[in-house]
Structures are given as C-alpha cells and as structure tokens.
C-alpha cells in the first residue's frame, strides 16, 4: 500500500502542492482516547497522504488547501468537530454514512458498507489501538490509509444511487455549490450533505444555560416534590413510586379499572391516567410524576453543561422520516416549565421561530386539499374554519372550546385516527369531552368536508391490501417504506417537514454569512429553530431567520403558503 507519511513542515508543503489539482479530497481522521486529532488522512484520485498532527507545527498551508476543497468522508460530523479545533474546515462535504442512511442502509459502519457495496472486508481491529503513542506502527498507518482509500471507491457508488432520489420540489437546491461540487442531482441529498457542516456548527456553538437559574429551580422543585410525596403518603398510605401499590390503590379503593401490560400486570401509565386527572388520587399522583420528571431533566442538563452551555449530540437522520434525534442532553423534549433556564448571556439575544401548523399545511399540499389550501392562502384561522364547517355554524360563532375541538380534528384526522382515538385525543390533548358517538359523527363530517384526505386514506389502505406496504418519497425526494396505515400517512408529512427545517437552517446560515452577522442556530426541535446573536443585531437576526424559513417554505411547498411565528427574547422560555 502506497502512502506518504507527513511529519515535517517541508513535507506538508510538498503534500499540499501535490493535492492542489484534486477536485475532491477523501478525508479521515484518527483521534486519541481523549479526543485529540492525531492523524489526518487525505487522498486524491491518485495519491494518499497521512498527516501526523502531533508532529506538525505549521498547519496554515493545509488549512488554506482544505478550506478551498470539497471533501468526502464517513461520519464526518465527528471529524469536522475534531478538526475545527485546528482550523481545518473543508469548503463542502459529502458524508458516505449520511448517504447510506438516506438510501435505507441499516448498518452504517464503514466496514459494513465496504463489504456490502464493494464486496471486500475492511479490517477495523486497530481502531481502538493507541493513537497517542509517540511512534505509530506501520500497521496503524496502513489501517489509517485504508479508511481514506476505501472512501474513494464508495463515493461514486453512493452518489449515483442518491441521484436516483428525484423530488418533485427543490429545483433551486440543485443550483447550489454542494450539488455542483459533488455531482448531485437529488434535492434531498444536497440538503442532507450541506446540513452535515451546519449541524456540526450547531453542536460546537452550544445552547447557553443559566447555571444559577438551574440550581435555584432544582432546589425549588426538590422542595415541591418532597411536600407532595409526603402529602400523598399521609392521605393514601401508599408510596407513590411503587407501581404495584399504586395500582392496588387505584383499583381496590377508587374503582379505576387499569389496562394490563403484555405480562398481565396492571399499568399505571400516565397516558391512561390522564383521563382521570380530575380525580384524586390520580391528580396528585400525576403532579408528583410531573415534578419528578422536571427534576430528572434538570439533572441531565447539569450533567452536560460546560462553559455555560450545553453541547448536545444530534443524530442528523434520527428516524425514517429524516427527523433528527438528540442526546447528551436531549434538547428536543425540554418541558415548557424548564425552557427559561436556556438564557442568552450578557450582550446576546435569542431568536425563536417555528412554523405555524406546518404538518397541516404539508398534508394539504400533498393531497391537494382545495378548501384548506384556499383558507391558508387567505390567511384564515384554519381551526376556526374547520369548526365552522364541521359543526355547521358561522366562523364568528365558533367558541374557544369548539376551536380546540377543531385542533384535535385537524391534527388527528389527517392521519386517519379512529373515532375512539379521536375522543381520547380531544380529551387528553385539548380538554374537550367527546362521546364516541359524537366522535363518529364529527369524524364523518370532517371527511365529507375535506374529501381529499378521505381519498388519500382509501388509496393508502388499498395499496396496503394489494402490496402489503407503501413506498414513496417526500416532496424533496426522501424515500420511505411503510407497512402500516399510520406510518404510510405519517411518513410523507413528517418527512417533508424534516426536509423543510433542514433547508431552513441552510438558507438562514447562508443569509447570516452574506450579511456578515455573527451568530447562528443553537437548537432545533422538529419545526422550531432557536438562534443566538449579538443583542444589537437582534432585530436583523430575527428578520433573517423568518425570511429564511419562508424562503425554504416556498421551495418545498408551491401551493400552500407557510407562516412563521417568531420572537426575540433573552430566554427560550
């Protein structure tokens, strides 16, 4: 195996000159157990260099080379964050792991993809060897070299498969630099590849947390939990944290018939108990659980807070829909009661924006629902209109309770939930009481009014009956396969929403760079973007964020307009 091991500044200059003509760089990095970058492997279409970052003192020529070149790598978000410490940032990236995931591969390691696509094994036995050793072995260097070389073979195979993922939207995306640099003609692939760099930046930037506020809130909630637990034990003589004792209390003393688990044990699941939230002891029990969850979340935030910020780990494609997942800590499930602890430091401000009723808008576009489309174009209150149409009364006569009912209809029935589920959803989600008979009648009226959804649901059911599964794509071309009705109607809507939020971040960050504004995204929650910037730039930051989200909306949705609700604030709360 031929490669050049670069350990001196003269060798680095020579390597950079040799790599200068390359249109693409294939890169990989090896890190020490403490996370320090030890090796950077860079291959062109003809040569391979291994840069020993422990030995090299002057990296400026390498920085200048890399910032001008597009790079191909595997699990690049990790490498980008490591290399950023040294100022090594490629102009654009193509991540073979993200590409494989987009294509539906379940096993995403470089070794697995090499076997699956190239038909040859990739020995990873030295992955955990000592990369901090003063002198690396020949075997270690050859191991490092193989990872970069195999990327050269994988890239065209994955790129060409991705180009088959055509979307019915996103022509504008194909005019961007990542599409041109990597030869991509799939809108969703362009978005995902461009998003790798931006997501790495989000993680590195971190979300500011007020440690003093966290500590004060923790003390307050601890006192509250202690008080409520003592009250529960005093009144009911039962430990609220013992599922068996709580189940016996609810069934034997209060006559609540609990559902059973797969093993036949009574379940005291919160979702079921919500129906009895107005009754004791359920009311107090749910309050205890709520406070306990808040405390657990605060402890999670404290565990990962550093330098006044939390730096979460996002999984870029966390679900088949393309939605992201988040961990260490999870910032996508922070309760409203705790959001105030995320606070911009002195001289900084947060811009918080989310798409209004975006799943409803996407669904209306997907099925070409004319009544909803026209209502959105006219800027009408869709929930008030739905209540008026379904209940047969003028819009101005719709009460707040009826509007809440319409929310349950709009957000539940577009996914085809049953009358029984609708009654439960209306009660648990919106506090609206509905008998099953009323739910059946209202459900029929909804589908008689919004006929496009009824047709869509029937088409999906028919396809499932005939073929056992439904294959499709989001508007930007993200593929999905579903073998249940719920998934088949959910995936295209949530998947298009995932495409939209990622595209919004790309448009927003590009706008910030054009304007020369310092700042960027610090958190993402499905249809919401939180950005941070200087206080004096706050109004402009918010304006660019809203404009970028609407611009992305016009790229993805051509018939239904998107609306964005946004605010400037010192805190997320």
Q: Give me the CATH number covering residue 265.
A: 1.20.1060.10
Which sign, positive or negative, has the C-alpha torsion 133, 139, 140, 142?
A: positive
191/507 Cα distance (integer angstroms): 10
Q: Are both 51 and 113 inside the same structural domain?
A: yes
Stretch (H or E) spanning 77: helix 76-84
Q: Are both 32 and 99 inside the same structural domain?
A: yes
pLDDT for the residue numbered 306: 84
Q: Are both 376 and 239 inside the same structural domain?
A: no
CATH number at residue 141: 3.30.420.10
Counted domains in the chain: 3
Structure tokens at 497: 């929403």
| End position of a domain, from candidates 449, 471, 504 | 449
pLDDT for the residue numbered 274: 86
Examine residue 204 and state whether it is found in any structural domain, yes or no: no
| End position of a domain, from candidates 307, 336, 358 | 307
Q: Are both 10 and 156 inside the same structural domain?
A: yes
Q: Which residue in the block uniquely carries the two structure tokens 């291994």?
A: 50
Examine residue 348 and state whether it is found in any structural domain, yes or no: no
Q: Are both 273 and 124 inside the same structural domain?
A: no
Q: Are both 221 and 280 inside the same structural domain?
A: yes
Examine residue 478 and state whether it is found in any structural domain, yes or no: no
| End position of a domain, from candidates 433, 449, 465 | 449
Q: Are both 381 and 294 inside the same structural domain?
A: no
Examine residue 273 and state whether it is found in any structural domain, yes or no: yes
Cβ atoms of 225 and 289 within 8 Å: the answer is no
Q: Please, what's the b/e burial string for 14-35 (b: 16 or more CB within 10 A of its CB; e: otherwise)? A: ebbeebeebebbbbbbbbeeee
- From residue 147, alpha-carbon distances to 34, 124, 143, 397, 431 in Å are 21, 9, 7, 67, 56
Q: Which residue in the block uniquely carries the two structure tokens 């979460």?
A: 312
Examine residue 563 and state whether it is found in any structural domain, yes or no: no
Q: Are both 153 and 20 inside the same structural domain?
A: yes
17/139 Cα distance (integer angstroms): 27
Q: Are both 236 and 138 inside the same structural domain?
A: no
Q: Are both 32 and 137 inside the same structural domain?
A: yes
Q: What domain range includes position 407?
A: 370-449
Which residues make Cβ contacts (< 8 Å) with residue 375, sequence separation at least 6? 382, 385
Tens of pLDDT along the chain (573 residues)?
799 999 999 999 999 999 999 999 999 999 998 889 999 999 999 999 999 999 999 999 999 999 999 999 999 999 999 999 899 999 999 999 999 999 999 999 999 999 999 999 888 888 878 999 999 999 999 999 999 999 999 999 999 999 999 999 999 999 999 999 999 999 999 999 999 999 999 999 999 999 999 999 999 999 999 999 999 999 999 999 999 999 999 999 999 999 999 889 999 999 889 888 889 999 999 999 999 999 999 999 999 998 899 999 999 999 999 999 999 999 999 999 999 999 999 999 999 999 999 999 999 999 999 999 999 999 999 999 999 999 999 999 999 999 999 999 999 999 999 999 999 899 888 999 999 999 999 999 999 999 999 999 999 999 999 999 999 999 999 999 999 999 999 999 999 999 999 999 999 999 999 999 999 999 999 999 999 999 999 999 999 999 999 999 999 999 999 999 999 999 999
Examine residue 467 and state whether it is found in any structural domain, yes or no: no
CA atoms within 13 A on the CB side of 107: 9
Q: Are both 108 and 8 inside the same structural domain?
A: yes
Structure tokens at 59: 């990296």
Examine residue 297 and state whether it is found in any structural domain, yes or no: yes
Q: Which residue in the block uniquely carries the two structure tokens 């690396």?
A: 136
Examine residue 256 and state whether it is found in any structural domain, yes or no: yes
Q: Are both 121 and 215 inside the same structural domain?
A: no
108/104 Cα distance (integer angstroms): 10
């Amino acid at each position: 195996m031929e490669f050049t091991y670069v350990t001196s500044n003269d060798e680095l200059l020579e390597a950079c000159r040799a790599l200068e003509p390359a249109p693409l760089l294939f890169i990989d990095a090896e890190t020490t157990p403490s996370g320090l970058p030890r090796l950077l492997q860079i291959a062109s279409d003809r040569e391979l260099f291994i840069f020993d970052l422990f030995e090299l003192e002057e990296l400026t020529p390498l920085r200048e080379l890399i910032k001008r070149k597009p790079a191909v790598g595997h699990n690049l978000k990790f490498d980008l964050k490591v290399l950023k410490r040294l100022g090594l940032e490629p102009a654009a990236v193509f991540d073979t792991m993200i590409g494989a995931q987009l294509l539906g591969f379940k096993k995403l390691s470089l070794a697995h993809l090499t076997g699956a696509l190239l038909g040859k094994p990739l020995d990873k036995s030295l992955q955990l060897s000592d990369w901090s050793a003063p002198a690396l072995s020949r075997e270690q260097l050859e191991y490092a070299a193989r990872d970069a070389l195999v990327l050269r073979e994988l890239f065209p195979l994955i790129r060409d498969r991705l180009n088959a993922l055509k979307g019915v939207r996103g022509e504008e995306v194909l005019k961007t630099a990542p599409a041109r640099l990597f030869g991509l003609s799939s809108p969703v692939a362009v978005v995902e590849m461009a998003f790798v760099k931006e997501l790495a930046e989000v993680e590195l930037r971190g979300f500011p947390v007020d440690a003093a506020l966290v500590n004060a809130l923790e003390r307050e909630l601890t006192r509250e939990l202690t008080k409520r637990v003592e009250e529960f034990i005093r009144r009911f003589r039962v430990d609220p944290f013992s599922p068996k004792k709580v189940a016996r209390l609810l069934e034997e003393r209060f006559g609540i018939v609990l559902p059973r688990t797969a093993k036949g044990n009574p379940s005291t699941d919160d979702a079921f108990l919500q129906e009895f939230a107005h009754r004791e002891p359920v009311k107090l029990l749910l309050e205890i659980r709520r406070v306990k969850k808040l405390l657990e979340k605060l402890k999670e935030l404290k565990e990962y807070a550093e330098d006044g910020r939390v730096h979460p780990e996002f999984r870029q494609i966390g679900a088949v829909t393309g939605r992201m997942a988040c961990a260490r800590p999870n910032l996508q499930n922070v309760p409203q009661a705790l959001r105030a602890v995320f606070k911009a430091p002195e001289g900084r401000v947060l811009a918080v924006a989310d798409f209004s009723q975006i799943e409803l808008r996407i669904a209306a576009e997907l099925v070409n629902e004319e009544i909803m489309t026209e209502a959105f174009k006219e800027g009408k209150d869709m929930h008030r209109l739905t209540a008026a149409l379904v209940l047969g009364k003028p819009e101005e006569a719709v009460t707040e309770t009826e509007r809440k009912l319409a929310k349950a209809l709009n957000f539940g029935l577009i996914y085809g939930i049953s009358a029984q589920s609708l009654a439960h959803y209306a009660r648990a989600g919106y506090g609206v009481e509905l008998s099953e008979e009323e739910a059946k009648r209202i459900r029929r009226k909804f589908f008689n009014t919004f006929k496009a959804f009824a047709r869509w649901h029937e088409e999906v059911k028919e396809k499932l009956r005939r073929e056992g599964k439904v294959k499709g794509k989001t508007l930007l071309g993200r593929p999905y396969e579903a073998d249940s009705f719920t998934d088949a109607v959910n995936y295209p809507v949530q998947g298009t929403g995932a495409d939209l939020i990622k595209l919004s971040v790309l448009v927003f960050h590009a706008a910030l760079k054009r304007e020369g504004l310092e700042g960027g995204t610090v958190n993402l929650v499905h249809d919401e973007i939180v950005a941070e910037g200087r206080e004096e730039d706050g109004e402009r930051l918010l304006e660019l964020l809203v404009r970028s989200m609407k611009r992305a909306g016009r790229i993805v949705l051509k018939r239904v307009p998107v609306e964005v609700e946004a605010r400037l604030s010192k805190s997320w709360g």
